[in-house]
Amino acid sequence: MLNIILMGPPGAGKGTQAVTIADEFGIPHISTGDMFREAMANKTELGLKAKAIVESGGLVPDDLTIELVKERLSRPDCANGYLLDGFPRTIPQAEALAKIGPEIDRAVNLVVNFDCPSDVLVSRIAGRRVCPKCGASYHIVNMKPKVEGVCDRCGGDLIQRKDDNADSFKVRLDNYYKQTQPLLDYYQGSGLLHSFDGTTNPKLLHDQVADLLKAHR
């Protein structure tokens, strides 16, 4: 069983790898952002609580986030594994996941991390363009759409996110490293962490990760 946490800074290629890994190994890709949006849209009890907090401008507290994660991982489609993206972000969240995972027979057994130098990340993000309709991601140099400014997948107009400019991104990146380094140390100590070079060609990187997953399946 593959119960995986996917980690790495924004721009390291997590999104691209997550889709291919989930498809190849037949496990759900669980993004915490998508999870929140689904719970709010479905008006579940937890979703309504989260919506009230978000709409008031607050941050969703750990206990509510953890309950949402627990509910999502408890579903039948996670019985044979899952790929968790965007959670945990802090040591308390990791400790909570370490507790609830075994309770619902969904204990994490692999943490896959992508390392990437800051200058490479800034270059990648500044050139990123996304489709607000379907979420597809492109790059003005490395991954151009077939028609400039138009999504290959759904035909939507591509945009640059407000926080994808270089200055804003550097702030996000600093915050990520401050939050995440303790988590990497935490999972390194547990023997679950496996790090890969995020600058590797995407196809080769996928093959490297897939070899690891096949060895643990």
Task: Give pLDDT tens digits for 155-180.
Answer: 999 998 877 777 878 887 888 888 88
For the chain, give the mean pLDDT: 89
pLDDT classification of 214: cutoffs 50, 70, 90: very high
**Per-residue pLDDT averaged across 47-55, rounded?**
82
Question: Is 37 annotated in the active site?
Answer: no
Q: Which of 14, 51, 70, 72 is the catalytic position? A: 14
Q: Which of 70, 106, 124, 128 is the catalytic position? A: 128
Question: Is 162 annotated in the active site?
Answer: no
Helix or strand run (H / E) with residue 45: helix 45-55
Q: Which of 37, 49, 170, 172 is the catalytic position? A: 172
Predicted model pTM = 0.80
> Is the preceding omega at residue 61 within 30 degrees of 0, hence cis?
no
Question: Long-range pairs for 131-134 at CB < 8 Å and ≥24 separation?
Answer: 131/156, 131/157, 131/158, 131/159, 132/156, 132/157, 132/159
Under 8 Å between Cβ of 96 and 89: no
Write phi, then psi, for 192 (nearest 5 degrees). Answer: -95, -15
